[in-house]
Chains A and B, each alone.
With several copies, the nearest count.
Chain A
Amino acid sequence: MSDLTYTASELMCINAARLLRDGDVVFVGVGLPNLACNLARRTHAPNLQLIYEAGVIGARPSRLPLSIGDPTLVTGAVSVCGMFDIFSQYLQRGNIDVGFLGGAQIDRFGNINATIIGGDYQHPKVRLPGSGGSQEIAGWANRCYIITPHQKRRFPEKVDFITSAGFLNGRAQRELTGARGGGPLVVVTNLGLLEPDANGELVLSALHPGCTLEQVRENTGWQVRTSGQVSTTEPPLPSELQLLREELDPGGIYLKGS
């Protein structure tokens, strides 16, 4: 559909950026979410407010931040507060519109595992980094977006450990807990977009140009269903690619590779 070539990371980043609405208050992580937010801010969402879990509000990084607490996030920001305030007065209070999440595993109901693979909690086969702030982001941000490459091992039917809540075993079960956030709204992969259905099950809602339902099925750990109408995403625009490559990540630190 387009002659432009782009990496999987560029494709995911651009599609994530398009999900953001002007004026959104976004809880940002480093890497692709940071690039997606800054791309959105430079295109259709100039009033996006970037909040970092390190306690930085309204950051305007003048270089690519390489850690969640990069000093470039602070210089020129609107406000800086402690971690307790960021998690309580911003996230728990309901002042965050959008959170970005990732993890080693995402399951059929959008639950995320970033804790252990295999074995049990006390004796894991692989020990992952753990929650960090993602348990609270998944619980309390109004909307959550997940960015992840589409691979079978990343999409098991059931995660080994629910580090951060999607819809548990179905939307009603999440609602029972009283957690204020709406849960994952879209999963952006290199093949397309998955969205929760009425029961909170992730179903394929869109394919990227040139990608097929078969590819999705091959790379998903459960019998993935489709929403009524599977649309095709708009291909990356030259202007989007140019912004990413020339201004936002000129070194290709997060965008090169597959």
Chain B
Amino acid sequence: MSKICSLAEAISSYVHDGDTVFCAGFTHLIPFAAGHEIIRQGKKNLTLARATPDLIYDQMVAAGCAKKLIFSYIGNPGVGSLRIVREELEAGRLEWEEYSHFGMISRLQAGAAGLPFMPMNQTAAPDLERSNPNIRRVKDPYTGQDVVTVPALNPDVGIIHVQRADEHGNAQVWGILGEQKEAAFASRDVIITAEEIVSEDVIRSDPNRTLIPGLIVKAVCQVPHCAHPSYTQGYYDRDNVFYLNWDKISEDRATVNAWLDEWVHGVQGAEEYWQKLGSETHARLAVKPRYAAPVNYGDY
């Protein structure tokens, strides 16, 4: 039962207007191509959840896909402000719900574990807890002291980019793991985008490397370079130049719209986008191989 389909089909089948969407990946493996496909398909009123919205949500908010943002840090990582998101929040045009990083990942962990909430120790910082009614408290039944709680987050759709997956959706990831696993288990429907589709034998040769099992996956899409301008460990580097450029592009809505017209609406998909980046960029982002030491599972 192969779950392979095109990214356009996967987005069309599993992302609906009004859904809560989680595009996973902490700096690493951010599924930009999926975000662009959501923009191309004109999805509306989405609730976008991510610890760091990064450029992917800045672009989706700019394109008018979002009604609400759930986040823990709205910056352009390593560069500065996330201009579109910030402007929309300040103008009151975008609803939001805010946590700390640990609050955000604890929400996913609860969602992934089928628990209604997760406890966290007190950090002494009072104001976010006062501002967000979803952050509550329970008494530790052993010491009587308060612990802080956040409710489970169970997105309608989780989109997870990985290095390699088989046709069933069994997916292997290395490098920074972020919240990839928790987002997958927390979500109702999971879309896997993969740099490579490999045979089941490759996956089965190293079961400890499999972060996401096919049994929770709805669709598997082969999307090389899906993560640009973020990166895929071992496949290509982060395009820091683009992160800096976006800081300028996003100063003005006209240039943002022109960029969306050219790089999102103006291309059919990830393959055309990558080719359009050109050979200089390809060369700049190329990475020499460095392999892990062998691991012997034994032929039992």
A and B touching (Cβ–Cβ under 8 A): yes
Q: Which A residues have a C-beta under 8 Å from some C-beta of B? A: 23, 25, 30, 47, 49, 53-58, 60, 62-63, 66-84, 87-89, 91-95, 115, 121-127, 129-136, 138-140, 161-165, 168, 174, 177-180, 183
B27:A67 contact, CB within 8 angstroms: yes
Give A60 to B207 CA distance when docked, in angstroms: 12
A127:B89 contact, CB within 8 angstroms: yes
What are 17 sample pairs from A and B whose C-beta atoms fall under 8 A apart? A54-B26, A55-B26, A56-B176, A58-B204, A67-B78, A70-B27, A71-B233, A79-B208, A87-B106, A88-B113, A95-B215, A127-B86, A131-B72, A131-B100, A131-B128, A132-B75, A136-B123
State whether the Cβ of B256 lies closer than 8 Å to any Cβ in chain A: no
From A67, A71, A134, A177, give the contact of B122 (CB < 8 A): A177
State whether the Cβ of B92 lies closer than 8 Å to any Cβ in chain A: yes
Among the 9-residue stretches B36-44, B177-185, B246-254, B273-281, the one with 4 or more Cβ atoms under 8 Å from chain A is: B177-185
From B71, B74, B113, B177, give the contact of A92 (CB < 8 A): B113
Would you give the shortest CB distance from A103 to chain B, in whole angstroms? 11
B52:A132 contact, CB within 8 angstroms: yes
Return the 6 tightest CB-CB contacts between A and B, nearest first.
Answer: A69-B27, A139-B123, A165-B124, A93-B114, A132-B73, A79-B210
- Interface readout for B264-295 with A: 1 if CB under 8 Å, 0 if not? 00000000000000000000000100100000
On whether A83 and B120 interact (CB within 8 A), knowing A58-B170, A93-B185, A135-B125, the answer reads no
7 additional contacts, CB 8 Å, given A57-B207, A74-B176, A84-B109?
A54-B27, A58-B214, A63-B300, A88-B113, A89-B113, A91-B102, A179-B124
B124:A78 contact, CB within 8 angstroms: no
Give A196 to B82 CA distance when docked, in angstroms: 33
Of chain A, the residue at the smallest CB distance from B233 is A71
Range, interface on chain B: 35 or more
B74:A163 contact, CB within 8 angstroms: no
Give A228 to B297 CA distance when docked, in angstroms: 53
State whether the Cβ of B134 lies closer than 8 Å to any Cβ in chain A: no
On whether A74 and B101 interact (CB within 8 A), knowing A84-B109, A115-B128, A161-B127, the answer reads no
B77:A140 contact, CB within 8 angstroms: no
Q: Could you count the A-B residue pairs with CB atoms below 8 Å apart for me: how many are there?
A: 246
On whether A92 and B216 interact (CB within 8 A), knowing A55-B178, A131-B100, the answer reads no
A83:B177 contact, CB within 8 angstroms: yes
B121:A87 contact, CB within 8 angstroms: no
B125:A164 contact, CB within 8 angstroms: yes
Would you give the shortest CB distance from A110 to chain B, in whole angstroms? 11
A77:B127 contact, CB within 8 angstroms: no
A66:B113 contact, CB within 8 angstroms: no
A71:B231 contact, CB within 8 angstroms: yes
A83:B179 contact, CB within 8 angstroms: yes
State whether the Cβ of B68 lies closer than 8 Å to any Cβ in chain A: no
Give A164 to B123 CA distance when docked, in angstroms: 8
Of chain B, the residue at the smallest CB distance from A163 is B125
State whether the Cβ of B245 lies closer than 8 Å to any Cβ in chain A: no
A124:B216 contact, CB within 8 angstroms: no
Would you give the shortest CB distance from A178 to chain B, in whole angstroms? 6
A129:B74 contact, CB within 8 angstroms: yes
- Interface readout for B168-207 with A: 1 if CB under 8 Å, 0 if not? 1010001111111110010000000000000010011101
Give A65 to B213 CA distance when docked, in angstroms: 22
Give A74 to B204 CA distance when docked, in angstroms: 9
Give A209 to B222 CA distance when docked, in angstroms: 52
A83:B125 contact, CB within 8 angstroms: no
Give A123 to B89 CA distance when docked, in angstroms: 9
Q: Which residues on the A side are within 8 Å of B51 (C-beta)?
A: 83, 132
On whether A89 and B185 interact (CB within 8 A), knowing A63-B300, A79-B207, A79-B213, the answer reads yes
Give A220 to B229 CA distance when docked, in angstroms: 40
B210:A174 contact, CB within 8 angstroms: no
Of chain A, the residue at the smallest CB distance from B88 is A127
Q: Give the one of A53, A138, A168, A183 with max B CB within 10 A.
A: A53
B181:A82 contact, CB within 8 angstroms: yes
Q: Give the one of B51, B71, B109, B205 with max A CB within 10 A.
A: B109
Give A146 to B215 CA distance when docked, in angstroms: 24
Q: Which residues on the B side are within 8 Å of A94 (C-beta)?
A: 114
